[in-house]
Structure 1
């Protein structure tokens, strides 16, 4: 089948079970899926397990192929992964780091690699950073370079861990618009987002994690309800629509469970 499928994903850190037999619904090309949930729900761990960067039990398939059984280079051509942060101490300049990410998918003539990497940076509005050392950049600048690294191989599956956390509002819109465009071209996009307002605006589907399991799956309208927000986040919330019809989540306080 076409798309991403994860079944029975189990991750343990020492004696703590972070993910316990977690299943994801089939994630289809053309969709942006947001992984949401409180801290320690397992969102980042799940993303790394899908990318085969985190040891786990269970199976992850992309278009019917088991990702764990692929050669690393073949998997790199299919899967782009954007971590929460890039290492601040890297001696590379931005363009070099994007070229290195491109070549992880296979050898390429130097001139072609340079041109491809530069074209991606221009598309993201960060061409001016091409010769800047990563070590001299702000957190937001490094995040945009990290996005360039993730998409430069033109992956089938794009995985992003809190991609907007260090970005100002204009950069958030630029990044999320780019994700929508990439999904619209037939890719599968999965992102961890803490900001439920952004998730409501940009996601086709939200997967809500809680205690290492999938708690709810659906459209933003189906998942972002006062009842589910009380269950998972422990808050009393109102879910309303603005004058443009967009969902707004308004937190009124902590949820007091019934005695």
Structure 2
């Protein structure tokens, strides 16, 4: 199982957001983080892979062109977690997870209820099941969104800034779940802004800048002071803590020579 995305181009009006971007082959069992400054094209790339925005290029999952398979089949294969859930929903949290499950297949009501509750319990949000979605905090909504993304047991999991509204404990729970899901044989791709988090949890980091892949590889090969100066415009130190984990310390803006 692998994901191959080649020559991805996306335009919004006259603005070209992605310009022939090609990812390295992303393999099952790995967590890949898409990183880069704001407006680099990370979220757009994720949505193009999920077939949610018009684009040029190809995205192939385990030999299947995602643009050419029926939408129902694609829903079974791909789980997508957006940055935020839409507001104005009258549904309770459990109903939204059940709806996500039924989007991919027909399933009896009692089985759908049990499967949705099992996923919410695994994520530690079973207590939110009967709460109206619009009454939840941003972090709680993100965890419900993750439940929606994984309830169909997809082979490819795409997550757009999944930790942005979470407290530290919830971040650890979510990222631990992503590691577990990848280890079960899935391709997991997440957009993360926090480079320290990316350094700790990613197997591979793809650094995107101006609509192109600027660098990719293991965290220690991508998170270097030189690359961070080029892409983010900052002076940074990359060091190991007492446990050997990679740390990224930002000292200030980078002054061009």
TM-score, length basis structure 2:
0.99
Shift of 1:212: 0.3
SS at match of 2:171: helix
Equivalent position of 1:121 in the other structure:
120
Is 2:76 the counterpart of 1:88?
Answer: no
Equivalent position of 1:98 in the other structure:
97
SS at match of 1:95: helix
Is 2:249 the counterpart of 1:247?
Answer: no
Following the alignment from structure 1 to structure 2, what is the Cα–Cα distance between the partners of residues 58 and 41? 18
Q: Deviations over 1:209-238 (max 9, x none)?
A: 000000000000000000000000000000
Equivalent position of 2:65 in the other structure:
66
Following the alignment from structure 1 to structure 2, what is the Cα–Cα distance between the partners of residues 74 and 53? 15
Equivalent position of 1:37 in the other structure:
36
Shift of 1:155: 0.3
Instruction: Provide the aligned C-alpha RMSD in A.
Output: 0.5
SS at match of 2:10: strand
Equivalent position of 1:164 in the other structure:
163
Corresponding residue pairs, total: 257
Following the alignment from structure 1 to structure 2, what is the Cα–Cα distance between the partners of residues 223 and 165? 22
Is 2:219 the counterpart of 1:214?
Answer: no
Equivalent position of 1:134 in the other structure:
133
TM-score, length basis structure 1:
0.99
Following the alignment from structure 2 to structure 1, what is the Cα–Cα distance between the partners of residues 99 and 14? 37
SS at match of 1:68: coil
Equivalent position of 1:17 in the other structure:
16
Following the alignment from structure 1 to structure 2, what is the Cα–Cα distance between the partners of residues 126 and 58? 38
Following the alignment from structure 1 to structure 2, what is the Cα–Cα distance between the partners of residues 68 and 61? 8
Following the alignment from structure 2 to structure 1, what is the Cα–Cα distance between the partners of residues 68 and 92? 33
SS at match of 2:22: strand
SS at match of 1:125: coil
Equivalent position of 1:193 in the other structure:
192
Q: Deviations over 1:75-123 (max 9, x none)?
A: 0000000000011211110000000000010110001100000000000
Following the alignment from structure 1 to structure 2, what is the Cα–Cα distance between the partners of residues 193 and 228? 17
Q: Deviations over 1:154-189 (max 9, x none)?
A: 000000000000000000000000000000001000
Equivalent position of 1:55 in the other structure:
54
Give the 4+ runs in structure 1 shifted more than 3 A. Answer: none
Following the alignment from structure 1 to structure 2, what is the Cα–Cα distance between the partners of residues 90 and 196? 33
Equivalent position of 1:233 in the other structure:
232
Q: Deviations over 1:96-151 (max 9, x none)?
A: 00000000101100011000000000000000000000010111000000000000
Equivalent position of 1:112 in the other structure:
111
Equivalent position of 2:256 in the other structure:
257
